[in-house]
Structure 1
Amino acid sequence: MTKSPKLVIFDCDSTLSAIEGIDELARVRGPQVFAAVEAMTTAAMEGKIAVEDVFARRLAIIRPRRADVAAVGRLYVERVEPTALATIVELKAAGWTPLILSGGFRPIIAPLAAHLGIARVEAVDLFFDAAGNYTGYDDKFPTTRSGGKPELITGLKRELTPARVVMVGDGVSDLETKPVVDLFVGFGRYTPRAKVKAGAHAFINSLAELPALLQG
């Protein structure tokens, strides 16, 4: 009989890495695009506007190229949270299975996931034509809207029947998972948010603090 896994689920942007991928895609397009997109991202992460109200709009403004995606993917690795790799190695040794659950983009996150040894990424796909020009995104994926992360975790629980589920993240979309996980850990190294800190079961400023929280 296969033993039920213990899942530790990480947000990506401003948690496993210092950057917000969507903002970095916008930065490539110049200061005006960057300012507009960054303002929308911040408002959504703080829960002032719904994710679904900005998701399509940001991508329509940016229209990221495949080359931009590759560049930001490298940046995720360059700006990785400094204790992330050692923490994940330690958690795996203690029997935890790490996953990434993000409102970001699967092809951009993939290099970071590989760097950290995380096999499974639940994130939004981007689509390009043969020349590498943007043609769209998977608008049916749950994390493109509010409530998407708890919906996906509920699906993972059905699929994997885990013994325990922990979520780690910095944003309000991560806090939404609190009712469907055993432990929600807020993360504040890069962008501490008062609402997340107030609502979290625990709050940390370094991923190195996580293994001690998950013992037992």
Structure 2
Amino acid sequence: MLKKLFLVTTFVLFLAACLPSASATEDVQEQVNTAVAGTMLVNEQIDLAVEQTVAAGEAAASTEESANLDEVALQATNTLEPTVTPFVAATFTPTATPIPLKYTCAVYKKKPKDNETFSKNEEFDVKFTITNTGTRIWPKGVDFKYVGGTDLASPNRVEIPVALQPGQSYEVTLDGQAPDKKGFYVMTYFVDGPMCYGYIAINVK
């Protein structure tokens, strides 16, 4: 009997040793509960951070939109109305109209050409066209005559035998001859007044 009691007691003690104690189980449960609570707290903090971030973004977008609206409103307010430029009448300055001289003329030389070359003592034709460019009629007898330079043609004086109306012309023909020396020679003429000038310029080789 005592032997059985001893065996039963020993077995009970063995089982007691093998089974986890209530304190150990409670410690593990507390650790689990603590971990779960910590996880939940972290999740709550994450959710809060996300909510704050979203709220901040929405606030920034709202502020930017409001600023844009304010800028548009400011631009609309500051739009300048067109001003009317007063019309300035153009000032016209009268220009002086040139008054034609009463007695003027133009001499056009047909022959010889300027700087034309001739041999010594070579004969050539001299032709001038004289035009009345003034506003008065020339009476007949106006002279066209030699006035300076080398005497290259004859006669030295030609009397225009007709009256010349304004715009009319008369052709004078002379007989020219080159000097007997090489060089450059010029002979000048004028129409009585003197109203205008003509010239001969030749080279002698």
TM class by smaller structure: under 0.3
Larger Rg: 2
| Higher RCO structure, 1 or 2 (CA under 8 Å, sep 6+) | 1
More helix by share: 1
More strand by share: 2
